[in-house]
Amino acid sequence: MKINTDHSKHLQLNKRFMNRFGMLGVQMEGLYYSTADKLTDDYRGGSWNFQEVPKSKATWLCLDSDQSFRVNAFNGNEVKCNAIVLSMSITLIMYSNLSFQLHEKGNPLYELIASDFHDMRLHFMDNLSDSDAQKLLRIID
């Protein structure tokens, strides 16, 4: 899977993300960092780049790192993965939780979040190796 590291593309996708979600987008960015902190002791911060899902308006953040991460998933599974799988896992966990929270509060943004979740999950599964797809599923399911 090719990951965007182009700064101008990152800025364009960041603007699209913020236009779609408003202030919720700022909170979502913070959730990426805090979720990474909770999933692995190996995360020490870093540069995150916005990515897009082709044929969708969905965008997500990917940690730019060559490091391996030992993930202690919320479901009890331990998985060693790369930054891409970690970032995808964080994205799906965060979007799933957020869609349910927004739905419970009657916030109509839950539909957008849920739709993006499904678009991203399909995109991730279609573009990962079988090994990385299994790691992703072990973290999120």
Question: What pLDDT, in 10s, does the model give residues 9-47?
Answer: 889 999 999 999 988 999 999 999 999 999 999 999 999
Segments making up each domain of the chain, as ranges: 7-140
- Confidence tier at 72 by pLDDT (50, 70, 90): very high
This model's pTM is above 0.95: no
Tell me which long-range contacts 49-52 makes (C-beta under 8 A, separation of at least 24): 49/3, 49/4, 49/5, 49/10, 50/4, 50/9, 50/10, 50/13, 50/14, 50/17, 51/3, 51/4, 51/13, 52/4, 52/13, 52/16
* CATH ID of 7-140, from 3.40.50.2300, 3.30.70.3580, 3.40.190.10, 3.40.50.150: 3.30.70.3580
